Structure formats: C-alpha cells, structure tokens
Amino acid sequence: MLVTDFINTLFIIIILALLVIFAVLFLKSRKMRPEFNKDLDASKYTIPSLIEHIKESINAITRANLLELGLNEVEFKKQANKRAELKKALKNCMHGSVEDKQFVKAFIYDILSSYIPRDKLNSAIPFDNPFLLSVKEKFFILLHEYKKQHGPDALTVLIDTNGLDRAKKISDDDESISYAITSRDIENLYDQKSPVLSHEDKLEIITQAVYERYKGLGVIDEIRDMNIDGVSAGVSGVTDATFYGPSFSDHPQEPVRKLPRTYESIWIFFRGKSIKLDFLGFENEKELRRVCQNIYRYNRGGQLSEATGYRVNEMKDGSRVLVVRPPFSESWAFFVRKFHIRNVTLEGLITDKGSELPINLIKYLAKGCMITAITGQQGSGKTTLLMAMVRHIYSTLTIRVQEMAFELHLRKLYPERNILTFCETDSISGQEGLDIQKKTDGSVNILGEVATDPVAAWLVQMSQVASLFTLFTHHAKTSRDLVYSLRNSLLKCEMFTNEKIAEQQVVSALDFDIHLARDFKGKRYIERITEIIETSSQKPYPQTFKELESQDQKLSGFMETTAEFYTRMTDRLSFETRNIIEYQDGEYRAVSPISQEKICRMMQAMSQEDAEAFSGFLKKNWSLVR
C-alpha cells in the first residue's frame, strides 16, 4: 500500500513538472514570436525574395488561360494584346531596346508598389542607414538622382562635375597611376550629396535592382544605357581563387591577399579613356555568364559555343557588342561600343587651334572624290570622323556601305540620302556582298573597317572598278604601314605573286590618309593628313640597244635596260608620302602643298563654286609653303 502511494505521488510530481516546463516554454515562445515574425516579414522583402515574387507574378500573367476568365470580346482582346506586348518586351528588353526596358520596368514597378508596404522598403535596400548601404547601392542612388535631371547624360555629368576621370593611384601596394573610380570616391561623393529620396524614388531604385537581375544586364544595365563610349566586363582579374601568399612573395611576413576575380571587373570607355569601376562587379561568374549569353542575341545573333568562341553583333540602339568565352578566351567577357552622337559634325570633333585647316581640307577631300583612309588606334575616333565626313559628300551621289557589323548607321544621321548598308553573314560572304553592290548603282563605297586580308582585297577592287571613290578605316600607324599592310594582304589572298606589282596596285588605290591619335589623357586629335603619291616611272624602258650596230654596243645598251629594270623592281619606291597638315604644339599647321595632279582631279570632281573656294583655300594656306 505504501509502495503504491509512493508511485502515484511520483507520477503526480513528474506530470506537474512537465506542465511547468511546458508553460515556461510556451510563455517564452510567445515572448519571442513578435521578433520572429518581424524577421520573417523582413526577409519577405529582400531583393532575392522580390525577384522570385516578380517571376511568379509575370509567369502567372503570361501563362494564364484567358478563356477561363469569362471576359467579353473587347476585354479578351485587350488582355491578349497586353500580354503579347509584355512577352515581346521581355524578349527584347536586354538587347538595347530602351522602350521595351521601360515597359518591363513599369510592369515590375506596379507589382512591387502594391506588394511592398511603405514601411518595408528599407528591408530591400537600407535607404535609412548609410552605414549599411553598400558602395554599389550608393552609386546607383547617386546615378538615379542625376538621371532625374540629365537623363542618359547622367553618368557623364556625374563624372565631369566631380572630376572622377582623373588619373590616380589605386592602392598603396601599387605605385602605378591609372584611371579608376574607387569605393572611396563614391563614399565621399555620397556623404557630400546626402540624397533625400521620396517613396517613389526608393521604389524606382528597388525596381531597377530587381529588373537588372531578373531580365536586365546585371550591374551594367543602367551604365550601358548612358551616353558613354562603351562598357566592358571580364577583362581583368583572375579566373580562379588565386591568392598572394608566402610562396609568391619576397616577404613571407606579408598577409595573404585575395586577388580580384574576373567577374568583379567592370570598365567603361569614356572620352578616349578606359576607366575601371573599382567598386563595381558581378556577384559571381554565373551572373557574368548569363549576361554574356544574352547581350549579343538581338535579331538572332547566332550561337555562342565552345566551337564558336566569339560573336559580333549589334544591339537595337546601334551599339556594337563583342562577346568571347572559353576556350577561345581565358574568361567570359563582353565589349559594348556605343555610337550615341546624334548630330556629329567636323566642327564639333576638331576644336584645337587652327582647326579650320583640317576641317576645310577634309570637306574638300569628300567633295573632290578622293580615296581616303582614316587610320589610328582603337578608340581614336575613326568611325565618328567617318560619320561626319559623309555629310560633305555631294547629296547627288549614292552611297553603299559594307561592314562586318552595323556600326555607322548613316541612314539615321542622313535619312534623306540614298544610302544602303550591307553586312556579311554566316551564309553571305563579304565578297558576295561586294559583287551585289556593283549592281546597286552605288557612286561612293564605304568600308566600315579594313581589318582582315580579304577586306583589304575588297578595298582595292572597290577603289578600281566598283565606285567613284572610297572611304574606309584602318588601324595602320603610318601611311607607309598602311600601304605595306594592304600590299601584304593582297599577297596573302594570292591576288598577286609579285610584291612590287601588288604595291603599285595599292598605291594607285590610295589618295590620302587622315591619321587620328589619342594621348594618355584620352584627348583625340588629327595627328596628320598625308597625301600618298605614286612615283613609279611610267616611262618605257631604254630601247637604244636595238639601234646600235656593234655587238659590244648592243650588249652595253641591253645592260642599261636590265639595270633599269632591276632598279625599278628593287630599291626604287613606288610611292612617297607627303604630310599636308600636321598637329604641332597643340596647333594644326600647313606643312607641304598638295600635288598638282591631285588638285586637278579634285577640282574636276567639284562644282564650280566649290572649286573656286578650294583654289582660294590653297592659296591662303600654302602660298608660302614650298
């Protein structure tokens, strides 16, 4: 009996203890639940969560069966058209179509505005706490503020007004000076400006952050739309997790430092300068690869694969894009070149002292139908100068353009002119395009860029038989290099086997060379305008040995003829180069006069009014030059 009472008492005590423990745990959980709910609620509005919400919402809209909604005919067509427009915009928004991008962003903005409570905006981006904002977020907040006032010129104004394009030392470990916008620059600028954002501003910034990772081009999405010369990524940093350590250093006591990765490199091309955005980069290689695989696909850009390791294409706004991938390149990378100048003129491009000299001469070269090469390094402004030069070709002349990828877009600049551009494709070669051009009544032929041997062969063909005159761009450093490069291309294409004859053909196809330069600070200018003069003797070989009587005299005369032949075929140059205008000490100066033969040809091609003006221009500037 006593044992049974003891056991019952023990059970009661255990049950009471369990009840007490349960009560304590319950009260504790109730006390912690608001905090837990708060954290759960906050995580619902982070950028990754918002991206997932947008994906689900848009997928539901685009895949919904409209027949099940019970709409009348008018509403059904309205919803069908709206969905079709959304699908089209989603397909094209990442290919340089600003209109489609704005449409998609407006759609996302509407969804987010009804989804995120006003007091939860800071859960996505901590606008209210600058200490929690990342440098990237501060940069895009600043860019948003400038964009409200300056539109696509926002980045240009941001850089100009704050001197961000100055050369500077990037790190204490490296003594070299380079162009870069650093984290410190953005931090200081944000502290100075202290932007005050409205509810709409915050929602627009969040919308852009969601869009660029959902359907946009990642961190370069807004930058690509700015009026700059270009943007590239994946062109610096290491491809694997490499570290500086004791085994790689002369000082073993130095701490291990992680090297920047390839996907963390973003560069912009701004007024001739390559500037690294040192604070900006893609989150991981997967994101960089996603952008590379989508940025070039406008208008069926082809398949980028291991077998085809690069693709060159245009974007909808006319930008040129090149994408490369392993194993062709050491890492995934892309290069976007923009040609955003809407009203390009020679006067706007050439502004140094004495600029009237090259400006007027270039105008007369175009009016005088001279075969002209525009040479210079990459980024020196060759394509832009060619665009401006076309303005001064007589409007009665028809223009035909051959390019590897559409870059010049001359019909946008001169919509009233008779201009047609051809571009080689996977199935239509450049040679076929040139053959077709001969049947299109073209008077002036323009080659976007002579960069390969076959294109050089096309140039010589076009200059000799296909058109009145030709304009083209090339990367030659000097006029002699230009001639030799084109000559070597003819030999490689097996159009000629004799070096001298090939050179003569090239010289006969060239009249002038406008060479552009870009200095360390990004300043662009015309270094020289050079005339290429053919010097090959057109006189017949000596034939006196035929008229002589004695055998010795005939042999002597024949040796003179032989000596003349070898002289012409060896050390005698078939051309000479003469600088007409040079850039000296910050000023354009007349150097040597144009040859009389070229002057006569130019005047014959000009109208009487222009010929008289050209004659006065020559007398004014070269009358004292010998």
Each residue's pLDDT tens digit, 275-291: 999 899 999 999 999 99
The predicted structure's pLDDT at residue 541 = 62
Scan for tokens 């002289």, then name that residue.
567
* Cα-based torsion angle of the residue sequence 499, 501, 507, 510 in order, rounded to the nearest 10 degrees: -100
pLDDT at 342 over 80: no
Q: Which residue has the higher pLDDT, 456 or 621?
A: 621
C-alpha to C-alpha distance for 527 and 531, rounded to whole angstroms:
14
Q: Once rounded to an integer, what is the mean pLDDT over residues 429-434?
A: 71
Helix (H, G, I), strand (E, B) or coil at 333: strand
Q: Once rounded to an integer, what is the mean pLDDT over residues 196-225?
A: 92
For the chain, give every domain's residue range: 133-243+254-337, 346-397+449-536+574-622, 538-571
pLDDT at 118 over 60: yes
Q: Once rounded to an integer, what is the mean pLDDT over residues 255-262?
A: 70
The predicted structure's pLDDT at residue 36 = 38
pLDDT at 499 over 70: yes
The predicted structure's pLDDT at residue 470 = 87
Contacts of 580 (CB under 8 A, 6+ apart): 361, 512, 528, 529, 530, 531, 590, 591, 592, 593, 594
Catalogue the E-assigned strands of 438-479. Answer: 444-447, 469-474
The three-point CA angle 286-288-294 to 5° equals 100
Q: Which among 203, 200, 165, 201 has a CA at the least distance from the CA of 185?
A: 165
Question: How sure is the predictor about 167, in pLDDT bands with cuts at 50, 70 and 90?
Answer: confident
The predicted structure's pLDDT at residue 13 = 72
Identity of the amino acid at 558: F
pLDDT at 113 over 70: yes
Q: What pTM was computed for the model?
A: 0.73
The predicted structure's pLDDT at residue 37 = 43
Question: How sure is the predictor about 203, in pLDDT bands with cuts at 50, 70 and 90?
Answer: very high
Question: How sure is the predictor about 246, in pLDDT bands with cuts at 50, 70 and 90?
Answer: very low
C-alpha to C-alpha distance for 120 and 384, rounded to whole angstroms:
48
First to last CA, the chain: 138
The predicted structure's pLDDT at residue 63 = 83
CATH label, 133-243+254-337, candidates 3.20.190.10, 3.40.50.720, 3.30.450.90, 2.40.50.500: 3.30.450.90
pLDDT at 170 over 50: yes
| Maximum mean pLDDT: which of 172-176, 271-275, 603-607 | 603-607
pLDDT at 514 over 90: yes
pLDDT at 343 over 60: yes
| Maximum mean pLDDT: which of 81-85, 170-174, 326-330 | 326-330
- Judge whether 55 and 214 are in contact, CB under 8 Å: yes
What percentage of the chain carries pLDDT values higher than 70? Answer: 83
Helix (H, G, I), strand (E, B) or coil at 185: helix
Fold of 346-397+449-536+574-622: Rossmann fold (3.40.50)
CB 295: neighbour CB atoms within 10 A? 26
Question: How sure is the predictor about 538, in pLDDT bands with cuts at 50, 70 and 90?
Answer: low
What percentage of the chain carries pLDDT values higher than 90? Answer: 34
Q: Which residue has the higher pLDDT, 207 or 38?
A: 207
Would you state the structure tokens that stand for residue 304, as one six-digit string? 């980028």
Q: Which among 238, 207, 233 has a CA at the least distance from the CA of 220?
A: 233
H or E segment to which residue 232 belongs = strand 230-233
pLDDT in tens, 17-40: 667 676 666 555 544 444 434 454
CA 481, 365, 434, 575 dihedral sign is negative
pLDDT at 249 over 60: no
* Cα-based torsion angle of the residue sequence 388, 389, 392, 395 in order, rounded to the nearest 10 degrees: -90
Q: Which residue has the higher pLDDT, 373 or 402?
A: 373
Question: How sure is the predictor about 601, in pLDDT bands with cuts at 50, 70 and 90?
Answer: very high
Average pLDDT, the chain: 82
Q: Which residue has the higher pLDDT, 572 or 397?
A: 397
The predicted structure's pLDDT at residue 547 = 64
- Judge whether 449 and 473 are in contact, CB under 8 Å: yes
